[in-house]
């Protein structure tokens, strides 16, 4: 009563993810690239996937990286609103279930040690764990690790992003061998980090890797969310 929760999307007190923000999520509209999930004018593969197909089977994003989801992710990431992950996972589980992917575990993209020490938590895991619980599948928090520190991907070109994360990850065979994995991140821009992690998962014996993010940054592709 004295300190009610605040909505991560709009700041309104009373809940961590209010009904208005729930209804205001900006979704990506079909048709989407069959692999990376970016909106297209016609069904098929986007030009980037035709030139260099990512290592994951397919990537889909729940929303466009726009308000109110963008506000919520920033609040979770930079303001330590740890309970917000549970609130978002409740809505995300319906979306992921509708994809009908035969996944049996969820693996979050790992943070580097320096960033993890600074922040104290992996914001992706805070959403991925309750999502796995809601879907009644395994959650493998440390199935992947970063074997070298990387630069922030912000401001880098697609090629620079790909080189920045190349061979930066290693997966644990005992956690992933012969499993169909949902690899999860908060925001996808070019998909380079997800592709590099998928490469590590396949090298460790994963049977298949699908990728999922809460949001997709569309402006990087010359697109808008409306």
149-171, pLDDT tens digit by residue?
Answer: 776 776 677 777 777 777 889 99
Residue 17 has pLDDT above 90, yes or no: yes
Residue 3 has pLDDT above 70, yes or no: no
What span, in angstroms and rounded, lies between the C-alpha atoms of 146 and 116?
Answer: 11
What span, in angstroms and rounded, lies between the C-alpha atoms of 200 and 168?
Answer: 9
Residue 214 has pLDDT above 80, yes or no: yes
pLDDT at position 151: 62
Residue 226 has pLDDT above 50, yes or no: no
pTM, 2 dp: 0.91
**Interval 209-218 mean pLDDT:** 96
Q: Residue 220 burial by CB count (10 A; 0-12/13-18/19+): exposed, middle or buried?
A: middle
The set of residues, in sequence order, having a beta carbon less than 8 Å from that of 23 and lying 6+ positions away, is none
> Which three-class secondary structure state does DSSP give residue 154?
coil
pLDDT at position 116: 85
Find tokens 């991560």 and name the residue. 8
CATH code for the part of the protein at 19-221: 3.40.50.2020
Find tokens 């012969």 and name the residue. 178
Identify which of 174, 95, 92 has the alpha carbon closest to the alpha carbon of residue 140.
174
Least confident residue range of 60-74, 100-114, 160-174: 160-174
């Amino acid at each position: 009563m004295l300190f009610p929760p605040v909505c991560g999307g709009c700041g309104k007190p009373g809940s961590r993810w209010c009904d208005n923000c729930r209804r205001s999520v900006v979704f990506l509209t079909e048709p989407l690239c069959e692999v990376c999930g970016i909106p297209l004018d016609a069904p098929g593969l986007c030009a980037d996937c035709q030139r260099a197909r990512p290592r994951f089977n397919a990537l889909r994003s729940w929303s466009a990286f726009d308000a109110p989801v963008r506000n919520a992710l920033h609040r979770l990431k930079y303001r330590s609103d740890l309970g917000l992950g549970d609130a978002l996972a409740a809505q995300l589980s319906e979306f992921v279930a509708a994809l009908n992917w035969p996944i049996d575990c969820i693996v979050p993209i790992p943070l580097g040690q320096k960033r993890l020490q600074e922040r104290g938590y992996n914001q992706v895991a805070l959403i991925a764990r309750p999502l796995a619980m809601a879907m009644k599948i395994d959650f493998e928090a440390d199935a992947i690790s970063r074997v070298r520190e990387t630069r922030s991907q912000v401001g880098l070109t697609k090629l620079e992003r790909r080189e920045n994360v190349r061979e930066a990850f290693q997966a644990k065979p005992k956690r992933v061998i012969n499993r169909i994995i949902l690899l999860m991140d908060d925001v996808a821009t070019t998909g380079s980090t997800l592709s590099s992690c998928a490469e590590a998962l396949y090298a460790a014996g994963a049977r298949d890797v699908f990728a999922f993010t809460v949001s997709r940054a569309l402006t990087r592709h010359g697109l808008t969310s409306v």
